[in-house]
Amino acid sequence: MKKSILFLVLICTSISYSQVKTTDILIPTGIAALTFIASDASAKEVAKEISQFRSKEYIVNYIIGPTNGKEIKFETESLASDDSAGLISVAFNCNEVNERGLLLGFFGSNRDANGNVGRAYGFRYIPLEDAKKILTSLDDVKEKHRDYMKSDNDVNNIYTEFENIKFILYRDGGDKIRVLWNGFEVVWERTAFDRTKRRLERWFE
C-alpha cells in the first residue's frame, strides 16, 4: 500500500514539474516577444524609437545572433510608418549571416502575461522573397476584389493570411488593410503600404 502511494506521489510530482517547466519556458518567451511602454508616450516618438533603435536591438538578438568573436556588418533602412504609427516597416540586410528582408514593427494595444491590456510593440521578421510575394499578393487581392469592396465601404471585406499574420482588406475613405498578429490589431494605411513596397524593391535593387 505504501509503495502504491509513493508511486502515485512520484507521478504527480513529475506531472507538476513538467507543467511548471513548460510554463517557465512559454511565459518568458511571450514577454520577450512584446515590450510594454508608458500609456502617455507620444506615438510619433515611439515610432521613431522603434524604427531607428529598437529594430536594431531585435535584429542583433533574434536574427543575427551571437558574433562568436567576429565583427558583423548589417544595414537597416526605415521604410514607412502610418499616421497612427501602428505598423512600422524596416528593411534589413546582413550578408555575413545571409539574411535580408522586411521587419514589421507592430505598435498598439496588447495583453501582458497577466492579461492586463497596455501599449506595446513587437517585431515580425519576413525574409525578402516572402516579403515581396506578400506585398505583391496583397496588391493583387485589392485589384481583384476592388469592385466588391467599393460597393459597400467598411462592410465588404476580403480575408487572406501568411503563416501567422492575418490580413483583412476593405475600404473606408480609401484602401485599408487590417493586420492581426500576436495579439496586435493595426491598420496598414494605403500610403504606408505603397511606400513600403516601393522602397523595399528599390533598396534591394
Query: Edge-to-edge strand order for the sheet containing 35-37?
Result: 35-37, 117-127, 99-111, 87-94, 75-81
The 10s digit of each residue's pLDDT in 138-192 is 999 999 999 999 999 989 999 999 999 999 999 998 899 999 999 999 999 899 9
- Beta strands per DSSP E along the chain: 35-37, 75-81, 87-94, 99-111, 117-127, 158-162, 165-171, 175-181, 184-189
> Are residue 24 and residue 39 in the same domain, yes or no?
no
> Are residue 123 and residue 190 in the same domain, yes or no?
yes
> Are residue 78 and residue 147 in the same domain, yes or no?
yes
> Are residue 51 and residue 62 in the same domain, yes or no?
yes
pLDDT score of 54 more than 50: yes
> Are residue 57 and residue 103 in the same domain, yes or no?
yes
Residue 16: predicted pLDDT: 37
> Are residue 185 and residue 137 in the same domain, yes or no?
yes
> Are residue 5 and residue 53 in the same domain, yes or no?
no
Number of domains within the chain? 2
Are β-strands 87-94 and 99-111 bridged in parallel, bridged antiparallel, or unpaired? antiparallel
Domain boundaries, position 8: 1-33
> Are residue 118 and residue 69 in the same domain, yes or no?
yes
The 10s digit of each residue's pLDDT in 106-129 is 999 998 888 889 989 999 999 999
Q: How much is the average pLDDT of 13-24?
A: 33
